[in-house]
Structure formats: structure tokens, C-alpha cells
Amino acid sequence: MANLSPPPKLQFFDANGVPLVGGKLYSYAAGTTTPLATYTSSAETTFNTNPILLNSRGEAEVWLGTPQYKFKLTTAADVEIWTVDNITSWSGLEASIKSYFAASAGSSRVGFIQAGVGAVARTAQDKMRDTVSVVDYGAVGDGIANDTAAIQAAINAANGRAIWFKPGATYNVGPTNLNLLSNTSLVSDGSATIKLTAIHTLDLFRGASISNVIFDGLIIDGSSISIGANFGLIGFFQSSNIVIRNCRLINIDRFGLAFNACSGFRVYDNYIARAAKAATQNQAILVSTASGASSDNFIERNICENSAINVSMSRSFIRGNIVNGFGFGAGITTEQDPACNLLTIDGNFVTGGTGTDVNVYNCGGIENWAAFSTIQNNVVWGNAGAGIDQGGKDNTVKGNLVYNNGVIGGPGISGRYGTATYNSSGSVYSGNRAFDTGGAGGTQTYGYQEESSSLTYIVLSGNHFNGNKTAPALILSSSTAYSGPQWSVSETYDPPNIGALGFAQFDVTAPGARLGDLVQVSFSLDVQSLVFSGAVSGTNAIRVTVFNPTGSAVNLASGTLMVTYEKTKSAANV
């Protein structure tokens, strides 16, 4: 579209409409009597005279500079006709408009009202400052420029506001670490990447003695750079009320997330991965009490690939996580620490522990030393060591499915004895299923195995440990109370006429029955002093005996016979 041309000549007239021949046009700086030059052309290289003398048609060619002007028109005899102040050229007006909207004063004068009932008026400036973008502080996000300083500046300026990372951008950082502040949220839509490009000092994102911090929807790429120290991509020290959710921490080296003496954190719905498993120390999530207690925390629904979870904390939950493929420690490890107790390890899937690590530990599924804890509803399979290595006192281990572990060596579930302080005494194991699909040709040695006869007051109730490589169970403690799983069968039975001191015997098919099982027999009618008893006579078979201890014959009507059989403590019959 063509631009509007300025008037090629200015023409002036007297009161009678006659061209103002010889008239004079004075030019001053706006609001003053200080002469201000005009120009003969748009090039602004040649000044007009001041005043400008009008030609024989009352005309003059006048080009203005950027400043504002005041004009005074007179006759040839200097009689004033008019004065006009605050005149702006097109270029001056354009510059003024740009300056106005570039300044913060512009957005502070534009109103904003959100949709919906009850919305109140705000300025556009106030609305736009609800969040901080790292771009506001010079971050480029092109995967080439180093944006460390810009991100730190945004963190420093946020002051309680969310810090936004542009979707799809890649922000290179390092080697300097980024120091977090309280009341800060770092957020994106799941597609912004913060990528480590050099060895960092401390944790890449470091929070010390702070609270109320959120990471949401970010990708943090450690680039598999070996940092040679116990630091993580995100680390907190003596901090509280931390939320890390919907993030991807990839190509980690030593630790993905590291918490030391922290309480009230929630880590959920994240993906944390090492490029490859390693037998040296590494953890997707690490929680430590080295500098104080860590408590009241939640680690939920995370996916950990090629690295695992290791915690020392109390009054906390580890649930719904998937831990797959790791070469150091167990998939979920709780430490021997007096401040590590009262945990719930619930509904996790743990598999792929491979090899023997630098601590000469066969990588197992769950290794627990925390007392007063519950390990329940986990599915643990295909690990190098034990499925559930249980060494915490007074624990409840129930409803777990544990199979095909012990690839290098180990049972499905163990009763550990580390020291007099850290062992599984006083624990209850109930309703667990531990087996090997290969049976005697598999790898999982026992469904349940006690490590020492020094264990005391363990209760085994209603577990199913049949179908392992060596035997169902190895029980070493004389104080272990065993109550095996029970099965029952029933059938209609019409007892014969049984004479005084006589008896009758018959066999009942009982799937799963083995020699040594405990058997109980009952009948649905009044037995009239008859005695019903039973014993396993062979695999899947129970012989029932009906004895008449009286001095006269007894003939009962037809009723229902119920036979219940329970596994015994003997390993051969569990």
C-alpha cells in the first residue's frame, strides 16, 4: 500500500484570502521563543531561513525535524496573524508513538478485564507480569547459546511468580549451577529442554534451605556427562514443600533427583532415565538423612529406567512406580538408618536388576531395612538377586507377587539378618505368592528363605511358596510361627451303618494336598458321637475315617462332607 504524501508546498493567505506575498513564518522550539530550524527538503541537510519569506504565491517549502515546533505567521511588516504551538512532524509522531508503547508506562495505561462474573479491572502490565519468561532476561533457547545467566536472572527476579520456559526451545546450561529460591515455580508444557553442556558444580539446579518450589513439565537433559561427584540434575538440601511433577530427567549421570534432610516433598509422574545401567553408584531418586531427617514425603507413579530408587526417610510413601533395568543396588532400597522407618512401599513394578554391583550385591527387586513398614501389592520379577530382601523389624509383607528372581542367586522373599538392630524379626508375611515359572529348572531358589536362626517371632500366614528351584521355603528360626495356605473340598456323603466300635474309610480327591498337610473333616448333620478324621494318603488324595466309639450302631442320613487341608512348616510340604 502506498504511503500518504506530505503537502509539497505550504501556502498562506491574508484575511481577504489573498496570497500572503512577502509574509514571514517564524519557527521556534515548542513552548519557547528559542528559534528552531526547519529544512528545505526531506534530506534535512539544508536549513530554511528563519523567518522563512513567502514567495509571490504566498508559498514556502517547509520540512520539520523530530522535535516539536511553535510557528508564528506575520505580514511582511511583522504584524502577527497567528501563532500555533506543539506541532509535530510525521516522523516525530511515529517516534513518539513507538516510545510510548515501548515504555512500561504504555502497558500500565491499557486496561484488562478477565472474562467471567466477578472479574476486576487490571492493567495490561499487571496481567503480563503474572509470570516471568526466561526470554525476558535474555535466554535464547536455540540449543547453541549458553542461557545459564539468563535463567538465573529470571529465578532471581521471579519473587514468587512462575518462570516460563518457551515450548520447544532448548536452553543450554553449565558449567555454573543454578541456585533456586523459595516460592519459585519452573514450568513449561513438557517440550522445553534444559540441556547440560559442561560438567556442573554441585547439583545443576540447587536448592538449599528453601521451601515452596515446583518443577512442572520440563525436560532436563544431563547429556550423560560424567560429573565425578555425588550431585544430581535437581538437588535440595534442608528444604521443604517441594513438588516435581510431569518432568523428564534424561541422560543422568550420578543422580536424577537428590534430597538431603528434606521434608514434605512430592515427586510424581516423572520419567527419570540413565542412558545405560551401571554397577557404580547411581540413582534415579535419592533421599538422604546425612544432614538431618527426611520425612513426610511421597514418591509416586514415576518411571525409572536403567537407574533405581534409594531412600532414607520416615513416614513416607513409595508407591505406583515402575523401576526397570538397573545395575546398582536394588530397584527400591531403604537404608540401615535409625531415621529410616514407617514407610509404605506399595504397588510398585520392579524388574531388570542385572549383575553384581561394586558393593558385591546381586541387584534385587526391593531391599528394605526400614522398621515398622509395610511392603504390599508389589510385582517383582526377573532380578539378579532376591525379589524382596526384607531386613526391617516388625514389618508387614503382604499380597506381593514375586517370581523368576535370583537370576544370579537368591530367593523370592528373604528374612534378612544384618545386625541385631537391622533384621526382619517380628515381621508378618501374609498372602504372598513367590514362585519360579521354571520350577526346579528355574533360578529363584526358595519362595521364602530365612538368613539366620537368630531371627525371632516371624509369622508366615497364608503364603503360597510352592514351585521354586530348591524348595518352597527355608525356615531356620525355631520361633517362626507358620500357618500355611488352606484349601478345602466338599462332597455329598451318606455314611453307612457303622456298628459299635466300628469304622468306615474312603478317599477324597484334594488338589494340591501333599504328605504332611494338616487335615480337618466336618459333616453337615448331627454326627451322634461319630468321630470324623482325615490324613493325606498321597499326592492330591486325603483318606477320611469315620469311627463309632459307642456301644451301638449309628446310621446317619446323607449330608455334606467338608475336608480342609493346610500346609505345614516343613519345607517339603509348603
pLDDT band at residue 63, thresholds of 50, 70 and 90? confident
- The answer on pLDDT for 129 being more than 60 is no
CA 103/CA 173 separation, integer angstroms: 31
pLDDT band at residue 97, thresholds of 50, 70 and 90? very low
CA 386/CA 380 separation, integer angstroms: 9
CA 129/CA 407 separation, integer angstroms: 57
- The answer on pLDDT for 1 being more than 50 is no
The pLDDT tens digits of the residues spanning 228-274 come to: 788 999 999 999 999 999 999 999 999 999 999 999 999 999 999 99
CA 335 to chain centre: 21
Q: May I ask the CATH architecture of the domain 486-573?
A: Distorted Sandwich (2.70)
Query: Which range, 77-81, 85-89, 164-168, is most confident?
Result: 164-168
Number of H helices, E strands in the chain: 4, 50
| Grid coordinates belonging to 375 | 511392603
411-446 burial code (b ≥16 CB/10 A, e <16): bbbbbbbeeeebbbbbbbbbebbbbbeeeeebbbbb
Pair type for strands 486-493 and 559-566? antiparallel
CA 178/CA 238 separation, integer angstroms: 17
Average pLDDT, integer, range 342-363: 98
Q: Phi/psi of residue 231, each to 5°?
A: -130, 160
Please report, rounded to a whole number, the percentage of residues in the chain having pLDDT higher than 70.
91
CA 414/CA 391 separation, integer angstroms: 8
Q: Which residues pair with 72 in a beta bridge?
A: 26, 83
Q: Phi/psi of residue 148, each to 5°?
A: -60, -50
In sequence order, what DSSP letters do the residues of 414-430 get, joined into one string? EE-BSSSSSB-TT-EEE
Contact (Cβ atoms closer than 8 angstroms) between residue 503 and residue 486: no
Average pLDDT, integer, range 84-96: 68
- The answer on pLDDT for 506 being more than 60 is yes
Per DSSP, the three-state class of 110 is coil
| pLDDT computed for residue 241 by the predictor | 98
- Measured CA to CA in angstroms, residue 119 lies from 111, 114, 125, 131 at distances of 12, 6, 16, 19
Fold for the domain defined by 10-88: Tailspike Protein; Chain (2.170.14)
Burial class (CB in 10 A: 0-12, 13-18, 19+), 304: buried
Whether the link from the prior residue into 175 is cis, omega within 30° of 0, is yes
| Grid coordinates belonging to 194 | 534444559
Please report, rounded to a whole number, the percentage of residues in the chain having pLDDT higher than 90.
75
Contacts of 161 (CB under 8 A, 6+ apart): 129, 130, 131, 132, 185
Residue type, 86: N
| pLDDT computed for residue 42 by the predictor | 79
CA 354/CA 33 separation, integer angstroms: 90
| pLDDT computed for residue 548 by the predictor | 96
Number of other CB atoms surrounding residue 63 within 10 Å = 17
CA 123 to chain centre: 36
Query: By C-alpha distance, which of 317, 315, 393 is closest to 348?
Result: 317
Longest Cα pair distance anywhere in the chain, in angstroms? 160
pLDDT band at residue 110, thresholds of 50, 70 and 90? low
| Grid coordinates belonging to 544 | 477320611
Average pLDDT, integer, range 158-182: 96
The pLDDT tens digits of the residues spanning 544-574 come to: 999 999 999 999 999 999 999 998 876 555 5
Q: How far apart are the first and last CA of the chain?
A: 92
Whether the link from the prior residue into 51 is cis, omega within 30° of 0, is yes
Q: Which residues pair with 314 in a beta bridge?
A: 295, 341
CA 28/CA 35 separation, integer angstroms: 4
pLDDT band at residue 2, thresholds of 50, 70 and 90? very low
Domain ranges of the chain: 10-88, 486-573
Average pLDDT, integer, range 163-184: 96
More confident of the two residues 103 and 523: 523
Positive or negative, the Cα torsion across 52, 58, 61, 62?
positive
| pLDDT computed for residue 13 by the predictor | 87
pLDDT band at residue 99, thresholds of 50, 70 and 90? low
Average pLDDT, rounded, for the chain: 91
The pLDDT tens digits of the residues spanning 268-298 come to: 999 999 999 999 999 999 999 999 999 999 9
Give the position of cell 528559534: 35
Query: By C-alpha distance, which of 90, 33, 92, 20 is closest to 60?
Result: 20
Burial class (CB in 10 A: 0-12, 13-18, 19+), 526: exposed
CA 176/CA 181 separation, integer angstroms: 16
| Grid coordinates belonging to 98 | 513507538
The pLDDT tens digits of the residues spanning 393-421 come to: 999 999 999 999 999 999 999 999 999 99
The pLDDT tens digits of the residues spanning 150-160 come to: 999 999 999 98
